[in-house]
């Protein structure tokens, strides 16, 4: 099955493969969220999802899958080429319609490293579903007078990873493609900026736990014992 991509890389229209598994996920996504205008809208109305969102989802899935190699979402592109070769797909006559430019030389240059990790990457990024974030709520509410620190945090969270804070470019060392992402606010109260820090803290605390079962018990004691425990 093929899907048409308008204004893709290099502002070119092309056809590419849409697997049945991804089609099932897209149908489930459509039934649940019913997006209008854009299939994957971003937090800014009328604008598409930031490229940073699937990159973040990819890294979370990578950790859950136990992959320790320094891979990026761009690795999926090369893994896809590996699968074509492994399945003996005739890429010569399909390259123009599927990719817009010949890819045979790209497929032949795929490294052994990428071949080894491609089976694990099959389970990653099957679909990206955008969830409501704190930033979305802040954009649609008016709060009572805030303290200077609260107002600063509220303002920065609203602007985090939007065009208001500027952007930066990342260049892939493998193919030279450029990915532009909006800058983070770096506020210590921002759930986006502190997500990785939170995960590291939780992992550090989990490493201190003993390999035994833990139980949380709540009970009430007589008032007379308060002086002993408080």
Does residue 122 register a pLDDT over 80? no
The last residue of a domain, from among 100, 130, 160? 130
Parent domain of 92: 1-130
Same domain? For 175 and 84 the reply is no
The last residue of a domain, from among 106, 130, 154? 130
Same domain? For 25 and 121 the reply is yes
Same domain? For 28 and 118 the reply is yes
**DSSP element (H, E) containing 179:** strand 178-182
d(CA 104, CA 108): 6
Task: Share the mean pLDDT of the chain.
Answer: 76
Q: What is the pLDDT of residue 89?
A: 64
Q: What is the pTM of this model?
A: 0.39
Can you tell me whether residue 92 is helix, strand or coil? helix
Q: What is the pLDDT of residue 102?
A: 46
Same domain? For 141 and 207 the reply is yes
CB–CB of 50/182 below 8 Å? Answer: yes
**pLDDT band per the 50, 70, 90 thresholds, residue 131:** low
Q: What is the pLDDT of residue 195?
A: 82
pLDDT digits (tens, 9 = 90+) for 149-159: 998 999 999 99
- Least reliable range by pLDDT among 20-34, 52-66, 98-112, 165-179: 98-112
């Amino acid at each position: 099955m093929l899907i048409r991509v308008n204004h893709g890389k290099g502002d070119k229209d092309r056809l590419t493969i849409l697997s049945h598994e991804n089609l099932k996920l897209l149908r489930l996504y459509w039934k649940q969220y019913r997006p209008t205008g854009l299939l994957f809208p971003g937090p800014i109305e009328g604008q598409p999802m930031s490229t940073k969102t699937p990159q973040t989802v990819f890294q979370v899935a990578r950790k859950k899958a136990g992959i320790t190699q320094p891979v990026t979402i761009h690795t999926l592109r090369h893994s896809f080429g590996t699968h074509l070769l492994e399945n003996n797909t005739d890429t010569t006559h399909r390259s123009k319609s599927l990719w817009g430019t010949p890819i045979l030389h790209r497929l032949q240059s795929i490294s052994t490293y990428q071949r080894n990790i491609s089976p694990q990457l099959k389970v990653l990024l099957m679909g990206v579903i955008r969830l409501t974030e704190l930033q979305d709520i802040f954009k649609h509410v008016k709060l009572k007078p805030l303290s200077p620190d609260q107002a600063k945090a509220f303002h920065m969270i609203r602007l985090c990873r939007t065009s208001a804070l500027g952007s930066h470019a990342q260049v892939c060392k493998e193919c030279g493609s450029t990915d532009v992402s909006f800058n983070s606010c770096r506020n210590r109260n921002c759930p986006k900026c502190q997500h990785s820090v939170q995960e590291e803290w939780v992992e550090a605390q989990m490493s201190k736990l003993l390999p035994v079962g833990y139980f949380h018990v709540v009970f009430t004691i007589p008032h007379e014992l308060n002086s002993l425990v408080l």
